[in-house]
Amino acid sequence: MENVLIIGSTGQIGSELTMKLRGNYKGNIVAGYIPGAEPNYEIKESGPCEVVDITNAGQIAQVVDKYKIDTIYNLAALLSAVAESKPQLAWKIGIGGLCNVLEISREKKCALFTPSSIGVFGLNTPKDKTPQDTICRPKTMYGVTKVTGELLSDYYHTRFGVDTRSVRFPGLISYVTPPGGGTTDYAVDIYYSAAKGEKFVCPIAKGTFMDMMYMPDALRAAIEIMEADPTKLEHRNSFNIASLSFDPEIIFNEIKRYVPDFEMEYCVDPLRQSIAESWPNSLDDTCAREEWGWKPEYDLDAMTNDMLTKLKERFA
């Protein structure tokens, strides 16, 4: 990678990935955003920023030409719970937008990263140590767009030789960007409540396990897969990656080790609970480990310590 365009640079992943890439590479790392979701001061001052709407193919192509882009990170998407309330928009952004960047990547010879998700799996998928290659029959529009995206990306690679790559992100936990409507976002909200000294009202039921990952590990995965030797990639779209798996009680008790008076109660959100129950408890990421050396660095204790430390500093 030399010149990179990040579409969706102000989102949960994009805001941190932009700065990470700018720290790692000397080329143009272009922060693409849409009006109304402008970059923060740090992103604006540290490198080029351009209006890039994923649904506007001409706009994307102009930016690719202007900065001689060789790699695109397509992070534009509606998260799971939001997508259920706006399914047509979720499809327009997730699939219509993906078709735009796939065609531009084909025409302009760009490598393309489009993240997938544990949302591709459904009730018929094995719940524990979910295999890399298994049944993908999601029950949500979010999951449908992610499965379709994996298939389209594979098609463009095999049919046209586009260098498409992807990982299936679990729930992502970060102290930088607030949650944005994902089913796994309770695992971010709970840290915010603990750091503020507030009681946490959990929308996910006790005993509901889901895969999670700390954002620094997720950023490394997004970069390392694009740096990987393509001759070793038997799978491309998309790799299981795993780090943590827990239910609300486990993360609550871990936080109480650091915040002894922290309190939590349950008020289950039926929509988010039904989505959570359709997703795996844990993923088997053997293929990612073997094909490009994936390995997480953070366990639950290390993540909890870092999250609470950083959030308390912010709220202080």
pLDDT tens profile 131-142: 999 999 999 999
Q: What percent of the chain has pLDDT over 90?
A: 88
Active site positions, annotated: 142
Give the model confidence (pLDDT) of 70-90 as tens digits: 999 999 998 888 899 999 999
140/121 Cα distance (integer angstroms): 10
Q: How confident is the model at residue 247 (pLDDT cuts 50, 70, 90)?
A: very high
**Confidence (pLDDT) at 179:** 66
311/309 Cα distance (integer angstroms): 6
**pTM confidence score:** 0.92
Average pLDDT over residues 35-43: 93
At residue 182, does pLDDT exceed 80? Answer: no
Which residues neighbour 33 within 8 Å (Cβ) at sequence distance 6 or greater? 8, 9, 10, 39, 49, 50, 51, 52
Which residues neighbour 288 within 8 Å (Cβ) at sequence distance 6 or greater? 167, 221, 225, 239, 240, 241, 294
Three-class SS state of 210: strand
Bridge partners for 29 per DSSP: 4
Which residues neighbour 102 within 8 Å (Cβ) at sequence distance 6 or greater? 112, 152, 153, 156, 162, 164
Domains of the chain: 4-170+216-222+235-240 (3.40.50.720), 171-212+244-315 (3.90.25.10)
Three-class SS state of 305: helix
**Confidence (pLDDT) at 137:** 95
71/1 Cα distance (integer angstroms): 6
Give the model confidence (pLDDT) of 126-171 as tens digits: 999 999 999 999 999 999 999 999 999 999 999 999 999 999 999 8
Average pLDDT over residues 51-76: 98
At residue 30, does pLDDT exceed 70? Answer: yes
DSSP string, 81-102: HHHHH-HHHHHIIIIIHHHHHH
Decide which of 73 and 279 is more confident: 73
Continuous segment of H or E residues that includes residue 249 = helix 248-258
Decide which of 179 and 5 is more confident: 5
Determine the Cα angle at 295 with ends 7 and 253, to 5°.
95
**Confidence (pLDDT) at 159:** 98
| 223: phi then psi, degrees, rounded to nearest 5 | -85, -45
**β-pairing, 244-246 with 210-214?**
antiparallel
Tokens 């871990």 -> residue: 254
Three-class SS state of 167: strand
Chain mean pLDDT for the chain: 95
